[in-house]
Amino acid sequence: MLSTLLGSINQQGVSQLFWVSNLSTANHLQTHPRRIAQETTEIEMEDVAQRVNIAQNTIGKNDSEGFESFSEFWNHIFFELGDKRTNGWPLIGSPIPGLTILGVYLLFVKWIGPRMMANRKPFELKELLILYNAVQVFFSMYIVYEAFDGLWLDKYSCFRCENVEWETNEYTMRICRGFYVYFIAKLTELLDTVFFVLRKKDRQVTFLHLYHHTMMPMAAWGATKYYPGGHGAFIGTINSFVHVVMYAYYMFAAMGPQWQKYLWWKKWITTLQLGQFCVAFIHYMQVLFDKNCNYPKWSVIIVLPNAIFFYYLFYDFYEKAYGPSEPAKPKQNGVETKGVETNGVEANGKIVENNIAVGKKYE
């Protein structure tokens, strides 16, 4: 009987213990809703931080550190780590389509195109160039508008490192779409070089031109796939603003010589391009020093050296185009000719790079 009594007491005690515990939990939920919300927010932030750390620590991870096959490594890098909001969009899921486009582009402009045009007259493409440049102006203006209206006017600041927001809502999806449009715009700009080749302006297919037109689509693809938003939005914004001015110049210049008297500001486009690299370099340095920012610090290894390299190349071309000129050669047959050009047309005896003079004309 004693054992039966003790068992009954223990059973009642356990029941009371569970009742008190549940009552305490209920009172906690009723009296501390803010604490519960705070704890939930902290858990969500820890999940985001864990995701960022996984993405950062995966760089350099090889087969011996956890991947049983190359296909598993490939799937992890290009699918598991990709942003789920953009991973399924055309050309974003896998790097193969984009790299294929760039490969065909380089093959055409360096080998197929020049051989195809060797025994042909150059195409004029006047109307096509006007339309093409107008479309590029529209693309760039749309990106600038979306960036300022959605980010810079009331949310983002140029003076701090901006986090990537991983939530899926109308606001964040608008940011993702802006990044995606920027990526598509970089692909369409490959036509710059195609038009050079078709118009037999092969001297304008320089190392700077090819490097710039192949690097930018790859960088835009990576940002759209892995980090759509945050600190990287600044580069896309200022680059698109520069392209509004640049392609507007190309469009007007393509309309004919009657517009040349209004295009005195050609020199300042190159200055604007140099300025964007300086501003981008300074702005991106914030990623290194802001400990509370989730934007990947390893991206600095890609962005900062390229900003320096682009600045050097553009400055070199600026000096060749607008620096001290060589003494003028004697006129031939008493006639001196000066030409103006857009999308590969001569500008006062100088080579035009993307319609901006960047070097002396070869005599």
Catalytically active residues are 212
Across the strands, what pairs with 2? none
DSSP code of 359? E
Q: How many C-beta atoms surround the C-beta of residue 184 within 10 A?
A: 16
Token match 């990623």: residue? Answer: 287
Residue 335 DSSP label: B
Instruction: Classify 347 as helix, strand or coil.
Output: strand
Q: What is the dihedral of CA 9, 12, 14, 17, to 10 degrees?
A: -120
SS3 of residue 350 by DSSP: strand
Q: Are 228 and 295 a contacting pair, CB within 8 Å?
A: no
| Nearest residue to 78 via CA among 279, 273, 226, 186 | 226
Integer Cα distance of 207 and 45 in angstroms: 44
**Plot region of 312 (φ>0 → left; ψ -120 to 50 → alpha; else → beta):** alpha
CA–CA gap between residue 350 and residue 251 (Å, rounded): 19
Report the distance separating Cα 33 and Cα 40, nearest Å: 11
